[in-house]
Structure 1
Amino acid sequence: MLPQEWIEHRRAEDREQVGWIRPDGEDWVAVSLLGHELTGPVDWLAAEEALDGATLAWFAEVWMLERPGREPLRVRLVEVTPDGVVVQTDDFGAIDVPVERFTLPWPAPEELRPRRAGDPDGRTFPASGRHG
């Protein structure tokens, strides 16, 4: 549940929500849509700038879902709200590819992370995976 004292922040140019600003004593902390702190305690303007620099492009990016004892799974963000984070397996832009959806808690857990060098690219399979 979203704490009552958090203040929704929207970008000025398009009014899209990009996160929240929460009080921290005399200062403020910028919190992303994923529920992660983007700053430590800063002044209000610095918190706004951090959130305005955060982007909704996350929805277009590939993320990785870590799974115990298995290769990380390529996923895309589908929905992010304080009620939960929904991701689905990467469909590579095809509308007819079957996908699997996963509902994660909010704030997003550490198992959901941005793609890093060395992660599966979707074009090659790991040695333990299937071969075409």
Structure 2
Amino acid sequence: MIPNHWIRHLREEDLELVGYIIPTGDGRFVPATLFGYPLAEAGDRADAESVLDAAGLSYLADTWMLRNEDEEPFQVEIVESSPDRVVVRNVDFGREDDYGARIPLDVPTDQLSRR
């Protein structure tokens, strides 16, 4: 579940949640996706807001890499994202045995990275 101290960032036009601003405790802020992936280094709040405004929800269409403890990372795409979980789908042709499988992950997660 998204921590209570993370600041929701809404798109101005339609008030859609596009990500979170994470306070670092030292007066700086990290812009993050709906599932907690940092989109930029920590900076001032206005910079974090600008990053989220520019990205919108476009990162949901990216291909991501999923890391599990005992496996090589593999390609996934985001299928669903909520404050409780993100669901990804295996799109890695090298993993034919479970290609297309949906994998739920608790949010925030550190198992995803941008490809």
TM-score, normalization: structure 2? 0.69
More helix by share: 2
CA-atom RMSD in angstroms = 2.9
Query: 2:19 and 2:86 mapped to 1: Cα distance?
Result: 14
After the TM superposition, list the runs of 4 or more consecutive aligned residues in structure 1 that deviate by more than 6 angstroms: none
AA of the residue aligned to 2:78: L
Query: 1:91 and 1:15 mapped to 2: Cα distance?
Result: 34
Query: 1:68 and 1:23 mapped to 2: Cα distance?
Result: 28
| CA shift for structure 1 position 34 | 2.2
How many residues align? The count is: 108
TM-score, normalization: structure 1? 0.62
Q: Which has the higher contact order (CA 8 A, sep 6+)?
A: 2
> Mind listing any 5+ residue stretches in structure 2 that lack a counterpart?
94-98
AA of the residue aligned to 1:48: E
Structure exhibiting the larger radius of gyration computed from Cα positions: 1
Query: 1:9 and 1:67 mapped to 2: Cα distance?
Result: 29
Q: Is the 8 A contact 2:2 2:108 kept in 1?
A: no
| CA shift for structure 1 position 100 | 0.6
1:89 corresponds to 2:90: yes
Identity %: 40
> Mind listing any 5+ residue stretches in structure 1 that lack a counterpart?
93-97, 116-132
